[in-house]
Structure formats: structure tokens, C-alpha cells
Chains A and B, each alone.
Chain A
């Protein structure tokens, strides 16, 4: 049934691949993560901050914060943590442009920091983000929220909040599109 709707667009150009989520589906998944987060952090009196991992973790963080405010009436501080300089493949894959690191209001010391990323795969991004976080302060607890968990972990890392588990083969690629960056919302699996 999903196939009858037009293909999602990325900055105006149609994309190939199997569409797993689109438009409102993405919003519903974000809502589910928001509810899960509320359930957990309500015990800690909402002393938590959301930190997005650029690029798409950042708008995702904004959305989560907005939804959590709607559902729980609490506006969590948001920030971002750029991991480029902490990657373990800089020497292999070369230098890449840096993104914004922004400490959330009130800092991260002693608080629950929820890292937010679009796709969780090898876990190497999260490893780098954990290193980057330690330079910003000493969080009380660090948790991880991912819109999509596609498996293929290479490090002992797991997500605390997952929007959707998508089993994939290693040769496939999961692409998350967000309106703020790509002009539309979708989750697409490319390749075989």
C-alpha cells in the first residue's frame, strides 16, 4: 500500500530504495521516543539535557524537545556535540568539515545527558561522542536515543531509546531524511 504514494523527495529529487517510514510516520516514531524519554527522566525530576550529533541528530533533538514539552510540559535544554575531531577514521578517510558543538544551558555536569542520533549502526559515532562529552564536563548519566537501529554493532554500545529497529544486511544503507535538512521526512533502505 505504501508503494502507491509518490516517492519521497530529497531537496526536490526523488529517491530510490525501499521506503520504511515517511512523512507522518517519522513524526509518530519521534513521539514514541519522546514518551519513552519522559517515562525514564520523570523519575529524576526531568534533570536531563538533549545533545544532538550533527548533522541530523540536531534537528531530531529540537523535535524531541518540542514533543517532550507538549507531552510533559517540560522544556529540556538542548545542545549539540560535534564528533568529527574524535572519529577513529580521520586518518583513513581524511579530513572533513567540522560542525557545531553547543553546550546546553546550565552545562552537563552531573545531569542526565541524552545523546540523539539518526541511525545507530557500528556504534563508532557514539564512542566518539562519549569522548567528546568528557571534554565538555562530567555527566551524571549518559543515554542514547536513535531514530533507527539497524544493527551491525562493532563496539559494546546499545541505545536506551530506539524509534524503529530495521534489520539490514551489511551491504545496505539506511538513509534518514529530515525536513529541516533534506526538505522532507523519510527513512529509506538502499541497496540489497
Chain B
């Protein structure tokens, strides 16, 4: 495995291996010396063409804890703002001798293109509305820590599926791990072709959460309403969306006591998730952030610690 571009790149064994490694890496977070040596002398560049707090910083921390040298390049303040093309930018950065590029871009498929242009490892940190595989891995890691192995478990993913790279990667990875997935969204926020995805689809959140539609749910993932990607009328008003698809305190009561609630963040409180759900005992939001570092350490370790491809 040289790149991680899509959650579909991972076989079940790959995914389990990364999740197991992440569990070991997680221990480092509680240590006094948060440093492991396997990426000594390796250079990782975070190349972010889109804003990010948690993904960029957790990749940076993950790389540093594994002793890699990590450099951050963001579109703002780089030559990109002078009009340099994506291809020129990534080839310039790679020419400095980097071992891995962690790329986020607002165009779907951009990261896969980058992987064609460079010889080093490429990790997709989110491309447009397409994929965000490390988010799916950290969600799976968080779920696994709470409810055990995911085979035959039922996960509901709720909200803006159309614009969500998190949803797409999660559907792929959860299926790989043997879980059952139900997507819940208003029809306007379901992408074209969703019928061919390996999951159930529903417009009725109450029926899904109560288990009447597709059986009891073992976990709920709420998605952010991505206002920055919305140009038109996907729903009449935010209030109406919140009533139909927000995780309100009343809806929370439909779930079992032990059913975890995930949200990839940043949260729109009062829109897709109520504060009671976001801060309650079921909420795994902070665990997800913690898992982010461990999972990204596991991914970097997996891609970079070995012999690698000789390109000269």
C-alpha cells in the first residue's frame, strides 16, 4: 500500500491492522515522552488547499510523535494564491525530497490526480465531496472502542450526504468491516447514484432511530450541514431541517442508553445536533478527536515506516 486515497483502498485485513496499530499508538498519548522513532528522517508535508483545524493539526501531531519532520503548506500565503497550478505546486513540493504528501483539496478527485503526478506517498485528507478515508478510520476506531467489533452492527448516518466526503468514506469502510449502514437524509441531500451504494436509504429519521425501519441501530453518525458548499435550496429553512433531521433531545430518547453518537465536527449546534446530544453521555465527539491522532499515526506508520518504493 503506497497511498491512501479512498476508504475502498483498504481490505478488511488492512483496515483491522490499522485500527489495531492505532490502539497501540493511542497509549503514547498518555505517556510523558510522546515520541516514537519509526519515521525518523522522513518528511511529511501537509498540503491544505481548504481550511481545516482538526485534520491538519492531528496529521501534524501524528507525524511529529512518530519523529517525522512535518511541514504545513496552506493555499493562503503560498504560491497558489499567485495562480500556480495544482500540478506545479505539488511537483515543486515533492522536488524538495518529501516522503509523503497529506493533501486536502476542495475539488473531488484532486488528490487522486496529485498521486499520479508525484512519486511519494499521498494521503487523502479530504477531497471535495468525495472522500475522507482517515475520518472513516477514526470513526471506526471510536466505534470499535465503544461497541466492539463492527461486523453485523447497524450504523445510521444522518444528514447532508450529498456534500459529505465523510459519509462516502464511512459507508465504504463500514461495509468493508462488515457493518450494516443506513443513510438518512431529505431527498435533496442524497447524491445522485446513491441507490447503488451498499447501504439502505431512508427519509424518516424517527423510524430509523427507533429501529422500526431497518432494525435497532447500534450507533448514530450525525453529519455537518455544509453551508459553504450549498448554493441553493436544499431545504426550505434551517429550522425545518432541524425539525426533520436534527438530533433533538426527543430523538435521543428513541435510542438505547448505550448507543454512541458521533459527529465529525465542526458541529452546527441547534441545526443537525442539539447540545444535549453533543454533550451527553452518548456523545463520542471528543473521543473522535483523540482517535484522530492515533489513527493518523497508524496510517503514517503503515505507509512510511517500511522500505518504500525506490524511485531513482
Hey, which bits of chain A sit against chain B, CB under 8 A? 82, 85-86, 90-95, 97-101, 131, 135-137
Determine if B38 and A97 form an interchain contact, defined as CB atoms under 8 angstroms apart. no
Known: A95-B301, A95-B302. A85 touches B37 (CB 8 A): yes
**How far, in whole Å, are A137 and B307 apart by their CA atoms in the complex?**
30
Q: Which B residues are in CB contact (< 8 Å) with A90?
A: 38, 305-306
Q: Which A residues are in CB contact (< 8 Å) with B279?
A: none
Determine if A91 and B37 form an interchain contact, defined as CB atoms under 8 angstroms apart. no
The segment from B19-27, B51-59, B77-85 that touches chain A is: B19-27
Q: Known A-B contacts: A91-B305, A95-B301, A135-B35. Give 15 more (CB < 8 A).
A: A82-B24, A85-B36, A85-B37, A85-B38, A90-B38, A91-B306, A93-B307, A94-B306, A95-B302, A95-B306, A97-B20, A97-B21, A98-B24, A99-B24, A100-B24
Tell yes or no: B31 within 8 A of A by CB: yes
Q: Which A residues are in CB contact (< 8 Å) with B96?
A: none
- B5-40 to A contact mask, C-beta < 8 Å, 1/0: 000000000000100110011010001110111100
Determine if B31 and A135 form an interchain contact, defined as CB atoms under 8 angstroms apart. yes
What's the least CB distance linking A103 to chain B, in Å? Answer: 9
What's the least CB distance linking B32 to chain A, in Å? Answer: 8
Query: Which of A91, A98, A99, A136 touches B31 (beta carbons < 8 Å)?
Result: A136
6 tightest Cβ-Cβ pairs between the two chains A and B? A98-B24, A94-B306, A95-B306, A85-B38, A85-B36, A135-B33
Interface core residue of B17, B38, B302 (most chain A CB under 10 Å): B38
**How far, in whole Å, are A137 and B32 apart by their CA atoms in the complex?**
9
**How far, in whole Å, are A93 and B33 apart by their CA atoms in the complex?**
27
Determine if A94 and B37 form an interchain contact, defined as CB atoms under 8 angstroms apart. no
Determine if B20 and A98 form an interchain contact, defined as CB atoms under 8 angstroms apart. yes
**How far, in whole Å, are A93 and B20 apart by their CA atoms in the complex?**
20
Q: Which B residues are in CB contact (< 8 Å) with A95?
A: 301-302, 305-306
What's the least CB distance linking B245 to chain A, in Å? Answer: 40
**How far, in whole Å, are A94 and B35 apart by their CA atoms in the complex?**
20
Cross-chain pair count, CB within 8 angstroms: 40
**How far, in whole Å, are A173 and B15 apart by their CA atoms in the complex?**
33
Determine if B307 and A94 form an interchain contact, defined as CB atoms under 8 angstroms apart. yes
Known: A85-B38, A136-B31. A98 touches B307 (CB 8 A): no
**How far, in whole Å, are A136 and B31 apart by their CA atoms in the complex?**
7
- B163-196 to A contact mask, C-beta < 8 Å, 1/0: 0000000000000000000000000000000000
Q: Which A residues are in CB contact (< 8 Å) with B308?
A: 91
Q: Which A residues are in CB contact (< 8 Å) with B33?
A: 135
What's the least CB distance linking B17 to chain A, in Å? Answer: 6
27 A-B pairs in the complex with CB atoms less than 8 angstroms apart:
A85-B37, A85-B38, A85-B301, A86-B37, A90-B38, A90-B305, A90-B306, A91-B307, A91-B308, A94-B306, A94-B307, A95-B301, A95-B302, A95-B305, A95-B306, A97-B21, A98-B21, A98-B25, A99-B24, A100-B24, A101-B24, A101-B27, A131-B37, A135-B31, A135-B33, A135-B36, A136-B31
Q: Which A residues are in CB contact (< 8 Å) with B20?
A: 97-98
**How far, in whole Å, are A81 and B166 apart by their CA atoms in the complex?**
36
Q: Which B residues are in CB contact (< 8 Å) with A94?
A: 306-307
What's the least CB distance linking A84 to chain B, in Å? Answer: 8
CB closest chain-A residue, reference B41 = A91
**How far, in whole Å, are A186 and B241 apart by their CA atoms in the complex?**
67
What's the least CB distance linking B36 to chain A, in Å? Answer: 5
- B274-312 to A contact mask, C-beta < 8 Å, 1/0: 000000000000000000000000000110011110000
What's the least CB distance linking A59 to chain B, in Å? Answer: 19
What's the least CB distance linking A181 to chain B, in Å? Answer: 18
Q: Which B residues are in CB contact (< 8 Å) with A91?
A: 305-308
Q: Which A residues are in CB contact (< 8 Å) with B302?
A: 95
Q: Which B residues are in CB contact (< 8 Å) with A86?
A: 37
Q: Which A residues are in CB contact (< 8 Å) with B17?
A: 97
**How far, in whole Å, are A137 and B31 apart by their CA atoms in the complex?**
10
**How far, in whole Å, are A131 and B35 apart by their CA atoms in the complex?**
12
